[in-house]
A and B are shown apart, each in its own frame.
Chain A
């Protein structure tokens, strides 16, 4: 199963990179979301997908799934959510101020040089 998951993650990264390389700011944000999905799956898969029971202590359960990657992913999900929300509002504001969401047009003013 881990082999298949490695390929799935590869597809996710591929799609994410393709979206990030596009001109539209919105596509780039969707791409970063995709990228974090790929990263989360990567963390979980690399910890091994074995284990009999969810990591909750209960009578009789012996082999748990590795709890540490799960804790790490939980933190990562929340952080990527915060960043995505911030990006979205940033895109909204930049569209409002610049009237475009084409990043090839966002090159700073001449005075910056």
Chain B
């Protein structure tokens, strides 16, 4: 099955070819015609496998990528990925066809189509990947390409802001998803989704199972714009309309849905999964439809409606997960119908929402605005566009004879059925599900009516629009017409879709259930007078009443002040983190070197002294202490005296002479303790250093008196006393350390090994000559540095230029 591999790679290859082609083609024809061939070919390629998948076959193909880490490019084609593959390539073809007429050749088309192809390839990669790491790679690639597409008109501020927000939220979710994937890997020792599904019984009791569940859901919720992460989607409407139609209604926002469906067999039986997915989905459904009513921009209205419909699909998958809890038995088949409804609505939503976005794009393109306060009365000017809008909106509202009706009825059936489930203590709040679903459906009906009536009905307001309205060119209408035909076609022949495409996908969601045709219901447009139908009638009646009285209750929205929207919270959070980190950094990065020294010393004392205090390291062993002679004591007092006086020295010459006294005492100390070479070197170096200091004094200012406040002096004294004490403790603890023999006895054979009798010199010149070599290099570099510092000076004009 190399086909799937080709399907993933072809868009990337073509994206790479675009810059070459663009130069050749730009004068001849629209670049889109070439790009159109890619999804179209892929659609045909994938569609060939529909019959085989319907028979229950799946296809797998592995390319080694990083086998040592279990990361391989494994593609897996089954019913579920097939649905998404067909949606991506099918809607992709239509959107590209539409964009050929929507975007003029004056736009930077090569960028547009390059990003779009990147996105398409990434999206195909997401749905066909079996390996979690590969899936994650493509997942982030969709975030990045979506970011590029939203900011396509990057000269606009709103586009950049929307792209940034979408990037922040989806990447946040993507990273948590990565953490969840890694936890799954720890639990199951495999990155392959198929193997995880097969071994789900083994990993269910692992401690990381529930954290992985929550983190993966976080990824799915942010990508699919679920409550409260939905805020990026309305802002992403700054993208060109074909992008909105493709990414933000049909494909990318469904990546999260795909993830939930894909992981249903793994997490489905868990109560956490059920509650999170179904309740968040329902809240999103309600909140999206409720907010869509107040929008005045057509695309924002559609964005909120997308949020709402995604919530519907998400909650259906949540309800369907009850089937996993019960396992396969006769009664549990009922609950799997929710998942079926979710898949069915997933397809339906892509058809009608794609058509609606394209319709809005046409209105925007031909009239010059998409603000419903300026629109109206377009019906007689744009009859075909009006028809598209009616079909799309009525399908969205759930009216017959459009496919939305069927999925809405199935949705109602699922929420009604869930009342009777005894698991997860659902029964306690059983009525919650149907009521929220019903109220949300009423709002959906209302905004669908607003969409049609405010745009096409009523009076034309010529003074408020820039162009004279007229019907769109045929090319722009082809794609929405095809989608509308599908909307109607699926209503009349739902079982073709159900049998050939949804049935294999059900097998992927419920792999442990034996016969899949049992899971696939026969969809009837007319299913008798029952609770679902009555609910729909209620939706229509109350929806019409609410729509007629819209003016009287719309002020209700003002109760939800702008201050308390999630956007405000998001902006405040970003602002707070920026200000907070700036304040924090300004607080400790003062630019004053002394402060940094204080941090270093305090940290040193806290760490070292803290370690000695808290552990048993403070065991002193003084048995081997060498004897103390009186002349040694004199030397000790001289050293301490010189060191302490140096602190209080007022003049620099005093300080220098004290330094000399100290240096020479140390040389004497070396003499006493049998280190002749050290004594020699110390004497010479001390003399040279003193001379150097005295030389420099000619060019340096006198020691300025230290006159800071008393408190500062005291804290300095305290820190230095602590450092001194710490060093003393360390010295006392490590002296006479006798767990290992010193290596010194080895050097006693210096004469045989190196031919010298001065052991220190043989170490420096023979045993450890590398040290000496590099020490010479240090001296050389220091000398060169001194030379450069004294000789080379910036010329005046250069200095000015640098500052």
Contacts and interface: CB of A to CB of B under 8 A. Distances in A.
A5 B736 CA distance: 13
A17 B732 contact: no
22 contacts: A3-B732, A4-B633, A6-B728, A9-B728, A10-B731, A13-B727, A27-B706, A33-B659, A34-B662, A55-B674, A55-B758, A57-B750, A67-B760, A70-B675, A71-B760, A73-B675, A74-B760, A81-B689, A93-B789, A101-B700, A102-B704, A106-B593
Interface stretch (B191-199, B302-310, B476-484, B621-629): B621-629
B688 A70 contact: no
Given A56-B757, A64-B748, A82 B779 contact: yes
Contact of B594 (A21, A26, A41, A57): A21
B301 to A, nearest CB: 45
Contact of A75 (B673, B685, B771): B771
A12 B759 CA distance: 29
Given A10-B725, A17-B723, A93-B790, A26 B703 contact: yes
A9 B318 CA distance: 70
Interface residues of A, number: 86
Contacts of A90: 789
Which 3 residue pairs are nearest across A and B when measured between Cβ atoms? A14-B724, A10-B728, A82-B782
Contacts of B682: 77
Nearest to B706: A22
Contact of A68 (B656, B681, B758, B763): B763
A65 B700 contact: no
Given A56-B676, A67-B747, A78-B681, 5 more contacts: A17-B720, A33-B659, A56-B757, A57-B759, A68-B747
Contacts of B591: 107-108
> Would you call the interface of chain A mostly helix, strand, loop, or mixed?
helix
A34 B660 CA distance: 11
A86 B785 CA distance: 7
A91 B652 CA distance: 14
Interface string B644-663: 10110000100110010011
Contacts, number: 270
Contact of A24 (B636, B703, B736, B748): B703
Contacts of B628: 1, 4
A21 B526 CA distance: 88
Contact of B775 (A57, A75, A84): A75
Nearest to B752: A57
B597 interface: yes
B727 A51 contact: no
B666 interface: yes
A37 B662 contact: yes
B598 interface: yes
Nearest to B751: A57
Contact of A89 (B670, B744, B751, B789): B789
Interface in B458-495: none
A92 B742 contact: no
Interface of B: 591-594, 597-598, 601, 622, 624-628, 632-633, 636, 639-640, 643-644, 646-647, 652, 655-656, 659, 662-663, 666, 669-670, 673-678, 681-682, 685, 688-689, 692-693, 696, 699-701, 703-704, 706, 708, 716-717, 719-721, 723-725, 727-728, 731-732, 734-737, 742-744, 747-748, 750-751, 757-760, 763-764, 768, 771-772, 775, 778-779, 781-783, 785-786, 789-790, 803
Contacts of B681: 74, 77-78
A20 B597 contact: yes
Contacts of B656: 30
Nearest to B682: A77
A91 B700 contact: yes
Contacts of A74: 677-678, 681, 760, 764
Given A26-B703, A108-B591, A14 B736 contact: no
Contacts of B771: 71, 75
A61 B723 CA distance: 40
> Would you call the interface of chain B mostly helix, strand, loop, or mixed?
helix
B803 A109 contact: yes
A2 B704 contact: no
A58 to B, nearest CB: 7
B647 A44 contact: no
Most chain A Cβ neighbours within 10 Å, of B628, B731, B789:
B731
Contacts of A92: 696, 699-700, 789-790
B706 A24 contact: yes
A2 B597 contact: no
Nearest to B656: A30
Given A11-B724, A21-B719, A2 B736 contact: yes
Contacts of B727: 9-10, 13, 38, 42
A10 to B, nearest CB: 3
B685 A81 contact: yes
B675 A44 contact: yes
Nearest to B792: A93
B783 to A, nearest CB: 8
B763 A71 contact: yes
A75 B656 CA distance: 23
Nearest to B771: A75
B689 A33 contact: yes
A9 B677 CA distance: 21
A51 B747 CA distance: 14
A55 B760 contact: yes
Contacts of A13: 720, 723-724, 727
A42 B632 CA distance: 16
Most chain B Cβ neighbours within 10 Å, of A40, A82, A100:
A82
Contacts of B601: 17, 21
A78 B779 contact: yes
Contacts of A24: 703-704, 706
Nearest to A7: B728
Contacts of B786: 85-86, 89
Given A49-B626, A96-B699, A21 B720 contact: yes
Nearest to B742: A66
A89 B785 contact: yes
Nearest to B628: A1
A74 to B, nearest CB: 6
A83 B704 CA distance: 24
Contact of A8 (B636, B751, B760, B789): B636
A33 B764 CA distance: 23
A19 B719 CA distance: 11
B626 A50 contact: yes
Contacts of A88: 692-693, 696
A19 B647 contact: yes
Given A40-B666, A91-B696, A45 B758 contact: no
Given A2-B736, A24-B704, A34 B772 contact: no
Contacts of A27: 655, 703, 706
Most chain A Cβ neighbours within 10 Å, of B692, B734, B781, B782:
B782
Contacts of B790: 89, 92-93
Contacts of A100: 701
A85 to B, nearest CB: 6
B700 A11 contact: no
A49 B685 CA distance: 23
Contacts of A104: 592-594
Contacts of A15: 643-644, 646-647, 720, 724
Contact of A67 (B655, B763, B782): B763
B803 A64 contact: no
Contacts of B750: 57
A37 B666 contact: yes
